[in-house]
Structure 1
Amino acid sequence: MKVIVANHAGFCFGVKRAVEKAYEQLNKKDNIKTYTLGELIHNPHVVNDLYEKGIKSIEDINSINENSRIIIRTHGISEDLYSKLKEKNLEIEDMTCPFVKKVQNIVKKYYNNGYNIIIVGDEKHPEVRGVNGWCNNTAYIINSSENMEIIPKFNKACVVAQTTITQEQWEKVLKILKNKVKELISFNTICDATNKRQKAAEELSHIVDIMIVIGGKKSSNTQKLKKICEKNCKKTYQIESKEELNLILFKKDYTIGITAGASTPGYIINDVVNELMYKKGE
């Protein structure tokens, strides 16, 4: 059995930075309670470890007092919620991914200049909800070229992408929008790390017998990796840890491909690889 890990897999810059900042807070001796606003990243192992060490995830800022530190997660938040955090006089550690911050700034600028805002992405995803909050929650949110009927024929509009969607998804929607909007300004805001992971996973999935995608069940970019791999490798499985490998049937002559979402720590990837190498020796 041969095991190949994709050239680009696991933590991206934004996630790595946020996780490191969270663990830094644990070493501070200032007696200020630290919280994350929502799950820091979409990985249950990291979130649970932080919780056990004293950093709790909250959804309602009214549940904490002024003498608290709040970490804004990589997905970012709305402009209104950011203002409320400042009014509450909390110590803020803004770990919004730089790529997401860029999308927020674009949306705010063009909304203020009178453009209708369109976001290509999942309306339920925290990143998209946060971005929408920088145009007063007026954006039209579409997830695919199949629900374009919600978009009127605008005179002018600005369209951006959720940073973790696929290039194919973006291009299909953009092609239709160009025929529906008289003056369309588009920004392909899919992040570079997402593009690299998707391309590496796509290439690897062509040459393996089984493709394993490691990442949290809530992780959007991990789900996208799985869909990409499934097109080329029917035996594609998404797992969160090595324990789930027991559900997959391996053969000694198989070539196994591994990729991982941007919220997957390196040690989890290594655990999966080591477990597969152990199976190889059985």
Structure 2
Amino acid sequence: MRVVIAQHAGICYGVERALKLAGEAADRGGAVHTLGPLIHNPQAVQALKDRGVFVASDVDEVSGGTLVIRSHGVDPAVIVAADEAGLEVIDATCPFVSTAQRHAADLTHEGYSVIIVGEAEHPEVEGILAHAGGVALIVQRASDLPERLPSKRVGVVVQTTQSASRLEEVVSALLSRVSELRVFNTICSATTKRQKAADELARTVDVMVVVGGRNSGNTTRLAEICRAVNARVHHVETSDELDSAWFTGAEVVGVTAGASTPDEQIRGVIDAIEALSSDDI
């Protein structure tokens, strides 16, 4: 049984940067907290906790020290509150997310009705919404658009880990309904590359394994993309979840991973798959 890794898979620049900033804060000593999980990967968050970086759900829970802003970004008011509380603030917001936030703010300032293509309860989308002044439509599909739009001047931004097909679907539905449409494709390049590579690989292998947090939007989308072209797709967080029965009769296994999945986590899964003997499958 041969294992093939997707051409683009695993940790992206924004996540790597966030982990580096949090790790450096831990190395300096003192109390360090992240506002919410730094990234959507339970194993990586636990590893940070083992180094003394703890998760706080609110600024009020942090009495002093350093507060690291998660890679997904936050409402600007949160950073103001942290500054006023005397905390050292390290902003680990992904640069691609910052771009989406800026476009949302600019569109609002210029009088457009803002539509965010993304998941309403995702922290990144909540942050983008806050930058839009708290007033925007959030949709995942064209069918989510209301019968009556807020105005004929519409601006669109998109959650950085959404698929291009979702964005295209919403934009196509809006074209005939508005007099002016501005679209900022804020899907990050890492997401696009990972989705394309996963789709291509899933079409050519017997079994596909997707590695990453189940709470990770970009990882679950990789699994969705793979399932659209391959019936034998399994999403795991660690090698402990692998089941030898999944690989019965398989000659080639494909592996991809979300942008919040560290290399060692991917390597662990690959090693475990390769260790499965032909007798087991």
In structure 1, distance between residues paired with 2:245 and 2:159:
32
Deviation, structure 1 residue 246: 2.3
RMSD: 1.4
The residue that corresponds to 2:123 in the other structure is: 126
Cα deviation digits, residues 220-267 of structure 1 (max 9, x gap): 000110010001110111000000112652135421000000010100
Deviation, structure 1 residue 47: 0.6
TM-score, scaled to structure 1: 0.95
Q: 1:137 to 1:105 in 2, by over 3 A?
A: same
**Quick one: which amino acid aligns to residue 51 of structure 2?**
K
Of the three residues 161, 165, 172, the one matched with 1:164 is: 161
In structure 1, distance between residues paired with 2:215 and 2:9:
17
In structure 1, distance between residues paired with 2:78 and 2:33:
15
- Is contact 2:142-2:170 (8 Å) kept? yes
State percent identity of aligned pairs: 37
- Is contact 1:36-1:55 (8 Å) kept? yes
The residue that corresponds to 1:19 in the other structure is: 19
The residue that corresponds to 2:55 in the other structure is: 57
The residue that corresponds to 1:100 in the other structure is: 97
- Is contact 1:214-1:258 (8 Å) kept? yes
The residue that corresponds to 2:191 in the other structure is: 194
- Is contact 2:10-2:259 (8 Å) kept? yes
Cα deviation digits, residues 138-170 of structure 1 (max 9, x gap): 011001112112651622121001001111111
Of the three residues 83, 92, 95, the one matched with 2:80 is: 83
Aligned length: 279
The residue that corresponds to 1:10 in the other structure is: 10
Deviation, structure 1 residue 24: 1.3
In structure 2, distance between residues paired with 1:10 and 1:132:
27
Deviation, structure 1 residue 281: 5.9
TM-score, scaled to structure 2: 0.96
Q: 1:137 to 1:150 in 2, by over 3 A?
A: farther
| Residue pairs, 1:184-263, within 5 angstroms | 184-246=181-243, 248-251=245-248, 253-263=250-260
Q: 1:19 to 1:124 in 2, by over 3 A?
A: same
Q: Secondary structure at the match of 1:204?
A: helix
Of the three residues 46, 71, 81, the one matched with 2:44 is: 46
Q: 1:253 to 1:230 in 2, by over 3 A?
A: closer
Q: 1:278 to 1:151 in 2, by over 3 A?
A: farther
In structure 2, distance between residues paired with 1:64 and 1:132:
24
